Amino acid sequence: MEDLLYIQACGDYATLVTSDGEYIKEQTMKNFETHLPADNFVRIHRSSIVNVTQISRVEQYGKETYQVTLKSGVKLRVSLSRYRLLKERLGI
């Protein structure tokens, strides 16, 4: 599971991004959110689930918007409603 960096929703599919590449699965984000270990993964947006061990930075991006930067350099938006959960999960 630690190889899984994040999951991005793409319509009826989800793209799983790992350290080895990208894989497309025909599953809902809700299904991933339910089955992934809650200690390691958090939904940060309706279209993104991220591996918290891969987060290197959380910063404000706009007036009421936040983004995470992963160790790989990828930046993902965090919705305001999900930001509270992310802070709680990261202990910040």
Domain residue spans of the chain: 4-90
Architecture of domain 4-90: Beta Barrel (2.40)
Alpha-carbon gap, residue 52 to 2, rounded angstroms: 10
Q: For residue range 13-52, what is the model confidence (pLDDT) as tens digits?
A: 999 999 999 999 999 999 999 999 988 999 999 999 999 9
At 90, the pLDDT band (50, 70, 90 cuts) reads confident
Asked whether 13 and 26 are in contact (CB, 8 A), the reply is yes
Indicate the average pLDDT of the chain. 92
Rounded-to-integer distance, Cα 82 and Cα 68, Å: 12
CA distance 47 to 92: 23
- pLDDT: is 49 or 87 the higher one? 49
pTM: 0.89
